Amino acid sequence: MSRTVRAGALAAVALLLAGGTAGCGDEEKKDGPPGKAAASASPGSKNGELPPPPAALTGQQPRWTDCDAPTAALGPSARPPGDRWQCATVKAPLDYADPDGDTLGIALIRARATDPDRRIGSLLLNFGGPGSSGVASLPGWGTVFDDLGARYDLVGFDPRGVAGSSGVVCRDSEAMEAAASRLDHTPDDAAEEKAFLADAQDFAAGCERRSGRVLPHVGTENAARDMDLLRAVLGDDRLHYLGFSYGTRLGAVYAHLFPRRVGRLVLDAVSDPSADDVRHARNQTTGFQRALENYLADCAARGASCPAGTDPAAGAEKIAGLLRRLDREPLPAAGGRKLTESLARTGIVRALYSEQLWPRLTAALREAFGSGTGSRLLALADAYNDRDENGRYSSQSHSQRAISCADSADRTSLGEARALLPEFRELSPVFGEFLAWDLAGWCAGWPVRADAGRPEVSAEGAGPILVIGTTGDPATPYEGAKIMADALGEGVGIHLTYKGEGHGAYSSGNACMKGLVDAYFLDGEVPRDGRTCT
């Protein structure tokens, strides 16, 4: 199981009047002119004032060409390849401290507004990770955004260091397979600890060897500056943005840097912006255990058909026992592969991201407990790990680690992780041990110096930003949304609650929450702070 949302996941919004204009006169000048404005930092940036990118970059005219949606992105809600999608690449400074120096390309995909006479502007989207490709993801969400896509150009992008934007690559699929299937991610003795740490250091060395040029420049603040460059290039006075999971952190950092350029901003599935790495791991341990208990309660209510039994607490221990057995002896699975402890846990994690996947988890557990085979859990793990049927892995986890380790200077030693084990096992017998050890392996041997601070997200001067937390969210627990809303500032963060399951509210199918978000984006209606949807 790779780190789900290490830096956080998801962040900022400001209200414009319907039609896409807000603010006036002297207030706007504090962050520079509208339209093709330079993507300079606002006062208060943690890195200080930076020189603006040159006009050759802020005045780019993207060369949009028709393109097919990446086949990997096509899901049940996707449009067929080639239907209304256009792709382009925009140049951005490799180093914003040297804006006239080397550049890298930011890959974009868009669908033009279907009601152009009532077009508001562009809506930039980030789907989390960190490391998720917006170019690959947006087409798979096509029908979910149809109401917004009537009046906005929907724009997905690969953040720097991701996929088509100088994507970080650290090792090949063969090495990825070996680490996923043979490495013990919850080491039991000194030899396994040594192998665990050596693999992490080998991964870091591979990142430096293959992607050393971009590693120092893939942090979230740089990505936020890229978003302001994209805003200018797309011709918008304000940035309209919808960010999920890690995308909430990215949006919040943007709001801090450019508060008066914030348009309508929504953060969904929000992580705690104040958490250091240990607290973040503690939050996720709590969140995944809570989601598992919610699943087990639902499963138990179905009676004897539940493979974990009719007592949710006993069910969690039964699953923990399965993982302990897999640590000693993996189960056979399809294609001659084996279901290890780590892969089984990853499969469980994947299913907890959405209530719609709970039936697949039930079937997978029934197979593992009943027939002693692990093909279904392994298939769920493969989906989470971006492994295709030919054994090829995407580089999403490489980008995820690079961005996370660029954002945080926290480095947990093996000894410190070992000391956390009792607490984390108490928080969750299923996920605690893994997430404690993961602290030690994640940035071990990382070759680039990181920013030591937490993300600064205060956004005084921005308009209202919708901040959505889901009570059953496993990866970004509900409590983080209120912390984010408060950190954005009084009158800026509008805290909304979805009483439900899964990672993200807008895509959950809940009509109440979708209605609130759509009314905000389309009509400028700001919901009451503290509003709850069930």
pLDDT tens digits, residue range 83-107? 689 999 999 999 999 999 999 999 9
- Give the DSSP H or E segment for 497: strand 493-501
Residue 503 among the catalytic residues? yes
Q: In the prediction, which pLDDT does 25 show?
A: 29
User: Which residue shows structure tokens 């002297």?
Assistant: 26
From 45, 165, 211, 245, active-site residue: 245
- Give the DSSP H or E segment for 286: helix 277-300
* Per-residue DSSP letter, 500: E
- Of 122, 125, 124, 108, which Cα lies nearest the Cα of 152? 122
Residue 237 among the catalytic residues? no
- Of 167, 274, 310, 316, which Cα lies nearest the Cα of 488? 274
CA distance 433 to 422: 8
Q: In the prediction, which pLDDT does 143 show?
A: 85
- Of 485, 487, 532, 529, which Cα lies nearest the Cα of 512? 532
Handedness of CA 20, 22, 24, 28 (dihedral sign): negative
Whether 455 contacts 483, CB under 8 Å: no
CA distance 266 to 505: 11
CA distance 499 to 504: 11
Whether 325 contacts 264, CB under 8 Å: no
From 256, 503, 507, 508, active-site residue: 503
CA distance 177 to 114: 43
- Of 12, 2, 10, which Cα lies nearest the Cα of 271? 10
* CA 525 to each of CA 68, 114, 420, 519: distance values in angstroms, whole numbers, following the listed order: 35, 22, 46, 6
From 473, 495, 507, 508, active-site residue: 473
Residue 256 among the catalytic residues? no
Q: In the prediction, which pLDDT does 29 show?
A: 29
- Of 132, 105, 138, 67, which Cα lies nearest the Cα of 229? 105
* pLDDT means over runs of 10, the chain (534 residues): 38 24 28 32 45 95 90 50 83 97 98 97 97 94 90 98 98 96 95 97 98 97 97 98 98 97 98 95 97 97 94 95 97 97 98 97 98 97 96 97 95 97 98 98 94 84 98 97 98 98 96 98 98 98
Q: In the prediction, which pLDDT does 83 show?
A: 65
Edge-to-edge strands of the sheet including 121-126? Answer: 65-66, 85-93, 103-111, 152-157, 121-126, 239-244, 262-268, 465-472, 493-501, 532-533
For residue 391 the two structure tokens come to 């054994």
User: Which residue shows structure tokens 């973040």?
Assistant: 280
